[in-house]
Structure 1
Amino acid sequence: MSKALSALALLIPLALFAGRAHANSQASGNGGTIQGVVVDPTGAAVPGADVIITNAVSAYKQAAKSGADGTFRLVNIPPNQYRVEVTAPGFQVYQQSVPVHTQVPIQVRAALTLAGSTETVEVSASAEVLENVPAAHTDVSQTLLADLPIGTTGQGLSDAITMTSGGVVADSNGFFHPQGDHGETTYVVDGQSISDQQSKTFSTQLPANAFQSLELVTAGPNAEYGDKTSMVVNAVTRSGLGQKPTASLDLTYGSFGTLGEEATFGIGDSQWGNFLVANSDRSGRFLDSPEFTPFHDKGNNETIFDRIDFQPGGHDSVHLNLFGARNWFQIPDTYDQLTQDQRQQATTLSFALGYQHSFGPQTLLSINPFWRQDHVQYFPSSDPFNDTPATVSQNRHLTNWGTRVDLSYANGTHNIKVGTQLMQTRINENFDLGITDPAFNPVCIMSSGNAVIAPAPVSPDACAGLGYMANPNFSIGLAPFDLTRGGSLFHFRGAANIDEEAVYGQDQISFKNLTLTLGLRFDNYDGISTDKLVQPRIGFSYLFKQTGTVLRGSYDRTMETPYNENLVLSSTTGSGGLASN
Structure 2
Amino acid sequence: GRKIQLTDIVTPFVSSAVGSHDNLVHLRGNELSLNTFINGVSFFDNPHQLFTPGLSPDIIQSVNIITGGFPAEFGNRFGGILDIVTRTGFDANNHGSVTIGAGNYLRDNASVDFGGHSERLGYFFYAQAFQSDRFLNTPEPRRLHDRGRGSRSFAQLDYRADTNDFFKLALTANGTNFELPNTTEDALRGRDSFQRNREQTAVFSWEHLFGSSSAVSTSLYERLASARLLPTSDPFSIQAGGLRNDITLGAKSDYSLFIGSQHAIKTGIDLMLLRLREDFIFDPRGNEVEIEPFAFRGRKSGGQASFYIQDQVRPFKKFTANLGLRYDQYSVVTSGHALSSRVNLAYALNSGHTVLHFAYNRFFAPPPIENLLVSASLGFGGNPPRISRSNHFEAGVTHSLLDNLVFRLTGYWRSDRNSFETTELANVRIFAPTTFDRGKAYGIEFSARLSEIKRLGLSAYFNYTAQRAFQTGPISGGFTVEAVGPGERGPAAFDQIHTGAAGLTWRHHASGFWASAAFEYGSGTPATIPNDAGEKVSLRLPDHFVANFYVGVDLFRKERCGLGLQFNVENATDRVFAIAKESEFTPIQFSPPRFFSGSLRLRF
Q: CA deviation at 1:547?
A: 7.2
1:382 pairs with 2:233:
yes
> What is the aligned counterpart of 2:173 among 315, 321, 324?
324
2:334 is matched with 529
1:382 Cα offset (Å) = 2.6
Kindly report which structure 2 residues correspond to 1:41-440, keeping only aligned pairs within 5 A, or say none: 149-151=1-3, 156-241=5-90, 243-338=92-187, 339-383=190-234, 385-386=235-236, 388=237, 390-410=238-258, 411-436=260-285, 438-440=286-288
Query: What is the DSSP-based 3-state SS (H/G/I as helix, E as strand, rest coil) of the residue aligned with 1:495?
Result: strand
Q: Secondary structure at the match of 1:568?
A: helix
Cα 1:173–1:262 change in 2 (3 A) is: farther
- The whole-number CA distance in structure 2 between the counterparts of 1:381 and 1:419 is 48
Question: Residue 491 in 1 paired to residue 339 in 2?
Answer: no
C-alpha distance in 2 between matches for 1:158 and 1:367? 28
Deviations 1:208-254 (A, max 9, x none): 01001111111111101111122221111111125421111121111
**How many residue pairs are counted as aligned between the two chains?**
382
Which residue is 1:85 aligned to? none
User: Are the counterparts in 2 of residues 244 and 269 from structure 1 also a CA contact under 8 Å?
Assistant: no
Give runs of aligned pairs for residues 28-47 of structure 1, distance below 5 A.
none
Q: Does 1:572 align with 2:377?
A: yes
User: Aligned partners of 1:548, 1:408: CA distance in 2, in Å?
Assistant: 29
Evaluate the alpha carbon distance shift between residue 392 and residue 214 of structure 1 in structure 2; reply closer, same or farther with a 3 A threshold. same
Mapped to 2, the partners of 1:276 and 1:315 lie a distance apart of 25
CA contact (8 A) 2:191 2:233 kept: no
Instruction: Output the CA distance in 2 between the equivalents of 1:165 and 1:268.
Output: 35
CA contact (8 A) 1:329 1:345 kept: yes
Change (3 A) 1:172 1:309: same
What runs of 5+ residues in structure 1 fail to find an aligned partner?
A: 1-148, 442-474, 482-489
1:508 is matched with which residue? 312
Match runs of 1:466-481 below 5 Å: 475=290, 478=292, 481=293
Larger-Rg structure: 1
Q: What is the CA–CA distance in structure 2 between the aligned matches of 1:393 and 1:242, rounded to whole Å?
A: 45
User: Cα distance, 1:172 vs. partner?
Assistant: 3.5
SS at match of 1:256: coil
- Post-superposition offset of 1:439: 4.5
1:307-353 superposed Cα distances (whole Å, 9 cap, x missing partner): 11001111100000000000100111111112011100000000110
CA distance in 2, matches of 1:430, 1:193: 26
* Aligned AA (1:558): F
Q: Structure 1 residues 547 and 350 mapped into 2: Cα distance closer, same or farther (>3 Å)?
A: closer
Pairwise CA distance, 1:269: 3.5
Report the alpha carbon displacement of residue 164 of structure 1 after superposing the two structures with TM.
Answer: 1.4
User: When you count helix as a share of all residues, which structure comes out higher?
Assistant: 1
Q: Which runs of 5+ in 2 are unaligned?
A: 381-477, 484-604
Amino acid paired to 1:543: A
Per-residue CA distance 1:538-564 (angstroms, 9 max, x = gap) = 111122234712211111111111011
Q: CA RMSD in A?
A: 1.8
2:41 partner letter: Q
| One-letter amino acid of the counterpart of residue 310, structure 1 | Y
SS at match of 1:337: helix
Displacement of 1:580 in angstroms is: 9.4
Q: After alignment, is 411-420 or 302-311 more displaced?
A: 411-420
Is 2:92–2:114's contact at 8 Å kept on the other side of the alignment? no
**Residue aligning to 2:385:** none
Q: Is the 8 A contact 1:150 1:159 kept in 2?
A: no
**1:175 deviation in Å?**
1.1
Kept after mapping to 1: 8 A contact 2:34/2:47: no
Aligned residues: percent identity? 26
Q: Distance in 1 between matches of 2:358 and 2:24?
A: 28
CA contact (8 A) 1:241 1:271 kept: no
1:373–1:397 CA contact under 8 A, matched in 2? yes
Deviation sequence 1:146-196 (CA, Å, 0-9, x none)? xxx245x5xx21010112122221224431111110112321110221232
Residues 494 and 569, structure 1, Cα contact 8 Å, conserved in 2: yes
For normalisation by structure 1, the TM-score amounts to 0.64
Kindly tell me: are residues 439 and 240 of structure 1, through their superposed partners in 2, closer, same or farther at Cα, counting changes over 3 Å?
Answer: closer
Match of 1:162, SS state, is coil
Distance in 2 between the 1:432 and 1:520 partners?
43
Q: What SS does the corresponding residue of 2:105 show, helix, strand or coil?
A: helix
> Which one is further off, 316-325 or 269-278?
269-278
- Offset of residue 294 of structure 1: 0.8
For structure 1, which segment, 545-554 or 427-436, has the greater mean C-alpha deviation from structure 2 after superposition? 545-554
Residue aligning to 2:322:
517
| Cα distance in structure 2, aligned partners of 1:195 and 1:162 | 21
Q: Which amino acid aligns with 1:343?
A: F
